[in-house]
A = this chain, B = another copy of it.
Amino acid sequence: MEKDFGGFKGILVVGLGLIGGSLALALKKEGYKGKIYGYDLNENRIKKALELNGIDEGFNKLQDIPWKNVDLVVLSTPVKTFVELAKKIKPFLKENTVISDVGSVKGDLVVKLYEILKPHVFVGVHPIAGTEKEGIENAKPDLFKNARLILTPLGEDKEKIEKVERLWKDIGSKTEIMDPHLHDFVFASVSHLPHAIAFALVDSLIVLSKETGIDLFKYPGGGFKDFTRIAASSPTVWKDIFLENKENLLHTLQVFSKSLQKLKEAIEKEDENKILEILSESREKRLSLD
Q: Which residues of A contact B (CB under 8 A)?
A: 104, 128-130, 132, 147-148, 182, 185-187, 189-191, 193-208, 211-212, 214, 216-217, 219-236, 238-239, 242-243, 246, 249-250, 252-253, 255-260, 262-264, 267-268, 270, 272, 275-276, 278-283, 285-290
Contact = CB atoms under 8 A, between A and B. Distances in A.
Contact of A207 (B182, B195, B259): B259
A56 B11 CA distance: 67
Given A198-B227, A235-B283, A257-B260, A243 B267 contact: yes
A225 B235 CA distance: 21
B206 A285 contact: yes
Nearest to A216: B189
A281 to B, nearest CB: 6
Copies per assembly: 2
> Which residue among A195, A222, A260 has the maximum number of chain B CB atoms within 10 Å of its CB?
A222
Nearest to A252: B208
Nearest to A273: B239
A185 B212 contact: yes
A224 B260 CA distance: 17
B253 A264 contact: yes
B203 A259 contact: yes
Contacts of A190: 205, 216, 219-222, 224
Given A104-B222, A202-B281, A206-B282, 4 more contacts: A190-B224, A203-B262, A207-B258, A242-B275
Contacts of A234: 283
Contacts of A200: 256, 259-260, 262-263, 278, 282
A103 to B, nearest CB: 13
Contact of A279 (B207, B214, B239, B289): B239
A270 B243 contact: yes
Nearest to A218: B186
A79 B64 CA distance: 68
B203 A186 contact: no
A128 B222 contact: yes
A205 B275 contact: no
